[in-house]
Amino acid sequence: MSLFAKLFNKNTEEVSSKNVEDFVSLTRVYFQSVIAANLGITNIRFVPDVANFKRLFKIPTQGGRLGQAEKAASRKMLMQDYGISENFFKEIDTSVKKHCRTQNDVQGYLFMYQGFSNDLMMLMGNLMQWKFRMPSIFKGALRSMTEKTVHDVCTKTVWKKDDVHKTAAAVRQYKERLGYSEQWMTEYVYNVVMLAKKEPKQKANEEK
């Protein structure tokens, strides 16, 4: 069950709120909050994920500036519920500040980030398929494998399969343009993988 849906079901166990959909949604809320705060955006329709988050969690606007309170709240949730590091947010802040200098830059930036995220996860799913089936107790090993695979994607220029070669090249271009590090990519992918591994159990429990 989604974190947002959980608001309407107080009996839901806390663990069920931690899923891929919520992690990705909260990350988008943070992105859009940073953009809104940096550019002084006042039209909340310009940042739809922030609008939804703000309404559901009843977050008051801080100091008359949209994005400030929402940025802090989404950051707190990501750190507490998913163990996200300080550097993860610093890289987002730096990237947004560099690429979103006016409101005209925002749509292009978010579109580019979405392409980066989609291609990265598709590529990692292809390259780490059998490793994803490892039991969750081997967190350290899975983290190391994720780190190594991300490093390969960022440094290896020749791949046997043509589709992997093309997607890896696209991911490297996105990475350079957006300014994200291998560490950021590893943290993002690793969290999505760990959450995805938990979801089949959660769905089975909900069906019961």
Q: Name the pTM for this structure.
A: 0.85
Per-residue pLDDT for 164 more than 70?
yes
Separation CA 133–CA 137 (nearest Å): 11
Chosen domain end from 39, 56, 84: 84
Per-residue pLDDT for 169 more than 70?
yes
Q: Domain total for the chain? A: 2
| pLDDT 10s digits, 24-71 | 999 999 999 999 999 999 999 999 999 999 999 999 999 889 999 999
- Residue 189, in any domain of the structure: yes
Range of the domain at 149: 103-196
Query: Do residues 146 and 186 touch, judged by C-beta distance below 8 A?
Result: yes
Q: What is the pLDDT of residue 14?
A: 42
* Pair 107, 79 in one domain: no
Q: What is the pLDDT of residue 17?
A: 55
- Residue 7, in any domain of the structure: no
Judge residue 181's burial from the number of C-beta atoms within 10 Å of its C-beta, 0-12 exposed, 13-18 middle, 19 or more buried.
Answer: middle
